[in-house]
Amino acid sequence: MRIYFMSICGTGMGNGALLMRALGHDVLGADQNTYPPMSDRLRESGIEILEGYNANRLKALRPDLVVVGNVNTRGNPEVEWLLSNREIPFVSLPELLAREILQKRNTIVVAGTHGKTTTTTLAAHLLRESGLDAGYLIGGVPNDLPTGAHAGSTDAPFVIEGDEYDSAFFDKRSKFIHYCPNILILNNLEFDHADIFRDLEDVKRTFSHLIKIVPENGTILVNSDDPALEDLLHINWAPVLRVGLGDRADLQILNYRESAEGSDFDLIFKGEEWGHVSWPVWGLFNARNASMAALASALASGCPNPVEFPLGALASFNGVKRRQETIHATESTTIMMDFAHHPTAVRHTLESLRGRFPEHRLVMCFEARSNTACRNIHETAFELAFDAADEVHLGAIFRAERYPESERIDLPAMALRLGSKAHAYSTNEELESGLKDSLSNGGKHVVVFLSNGSFDGVPQRIARYLGKPKF
């Protein structure tokens, strides 16, 4: 089948195209902007990339199927041609994945407001290190896997990140509704994606739909420390296993400790010792991510008793890019990037770095870029999270004109309330200058850039400004 991907250079669409190519389909696509690393990976796999959108060109190509990206909307010339002529069928990426892969596999779906990418990567890493040719689709760049997507063997599990965002302009269901979970991981649940959900209850509604499609011979793994998830468990048909810190957890995390090298903890499954984990990753939230991934992997692999599944691969886990990723390090200054753009994720990241660098001045740089971060719905929560840093630099709101002033987060007012340690800037270039002045004062610093976007390249320029790193 000849499949044409619109917006093929996006992470999800590009990885989806690579999966279809691996399955033997003839794949090509187009994007308004073709950019590495995805464009390079696609071309290396023999996938043609066309620049821009052109209805006449699409008509001449005559693909068997068009996959419409989530960012493609009415007004796009190719979308308008597809709708007007109805000569070529079109689907969303989630629908294509379900049809071509997920309906035929033992599928682990990782859902939740935070930790999806890391937990998905952990499960894929554990399964593959155990000897299974597991497939996976990850919404980030894993450090331990060759790519963010792999079809794997048809008789092995498939792990996929379950996003609650909508599927396409013509399918407003959450992506994960398409994903046919046999094992469902529910990491946590908070209000996010303010552009498509009204409030927390609206988010709960779509998660309740996901829970209802887990088969009775499947399993739901739930963070037992999150009360918002407990509210949903009266609607399940599948058995539930709880993972957490308390006594009611089926898989209990005990004796969590951190050191300069990482963290360690013990896992107890239904009263039976599973093992001691010592790994180069910080944060209790990451210990929970690992525990969820380990239990899901054990169940998916067919172990009669989960404690028989090996945990040793956790010691070699190197994480995901943009998740506490170090881009520069000397004896005095470390520069990091992190994807956190929700108050809870920001708080977890700062707490983790505080424990990891107890003798350093913790400097946080934040770019409001996502819809949730740019609106004032979480302004108080962001302020409380930012207060954990020793120094706060607030960059320009990305495309601030998209939001009415009455709905927009007020970063200058927030900086005033946080006091002398906080600074708000009208441009990211001004932030860069202010940060350089701060770092010139000497002492030990750990600087973390928090954004789900590029931060206008400021992190990389700061790293170059500091000179050759010493690793």
Whole-number pLDDT of residue 122: 97
Instruction: Say yes or no: domain 325-465 is CATH 3.90.190.20.
Output: yes
State the DSSP H helix or E strand holding residue 276, giving kind and residue range, or none if neither. strand 272-279
Q: What is the dihedral of CA 79, 84, 85, 88, to 10 degrees?
A: 30
- Place 326 in a pLDDT band, splitting at 50, 70 and 90: confident
**What single-letter amino acid sits at 263?**
S
Topology classification of domain 2-92 = Rossmann fold (3.40.50)
Compute the Cα dihedral for 452, 118, 203, 229 and give only its sign: negative
Angle at which helix 93-100 crosses helix 11-22, to 10 degrees, equals 30
* CB-based contacts of 338, cutoff 8 Å, min separation 6: 322, 323, 324, 325, 349, 448, 449, 450
Domain ranges of the chain: 2-92, 101-316, 325-465
Question: Model confidence over 24-54: pLDDT tens digits?
Answer: 999 999 999 877 778 888 999 999 999 999 9
* pLDDT greater than 80 at residue 324: no
CB atoms within 10 A of CB 212: 13
Closest to 173 measured CA to CA, from 210, 201, 199, 222: 210
Whole-number pLDDT of residue 469: 53
* pLDDT greater than 90 at residue 192: no
* Distance separating alpha carbons of residues 412 and 429, to the nearest angstrom: 16
pLDDT, mean of residues 349-353:
89
Number of H helices, E strands in the chain: 15, 23
Residues 253 and 234 sit within 8 Å (Cβ to Cβ): no
Question: Model confidence over 83-141: pLDDT tens digits?
Answer: 999 999 999 999 999 999 999 999 999 999 888 999 999 999 999 999 999 999 998 77
Residues 54 and 78 sit within 8 Å (Cβ to Cβ): yes
* Distance separating alpha carbons of residues 63 and 337, to the nearest angstrom: 40
Would you mind telling me the total number of residues written for the chain in this entry? 471
* Distance separating alpha carbons of residues 346 and 382, to the nearest angstrom: 8
Q: Exposure string (b/e) for 159-173, b if CB count within 10 Å is 16 or more? A: bbbbbbbbbbbbbeb
Whole-number pLDDT of residue 471: 42
Q: Could you write out the DSSP letters of every residue in 30-94?
A: EESS--TTHHHHHHHTT-EEEES--HHHHHHH--SEEEEPTT--TT-HHHHHHHHH--S-EEEHH
pLDDT, mean of residues 309-331:
86
Structure tokens at 36: 């590495």
Topology classification of domain 101-316 = UDP-N-acetylmuramoyl-L-alanine:D-glutamate ligase (3.40.1190)
Closest to 116 measured CA to CA, from 178, 17, 194, 188: 188
DSSP designation for 397: P
* pLDDT greater than 70 at residue 470: no
State the DSSP H helix or E strand holding residue 137, giving kind and residue range, or none if neither. strand 135-137
Whole-number pLDDT of residue 468: 61
Structure tokens at 359: 């003798």
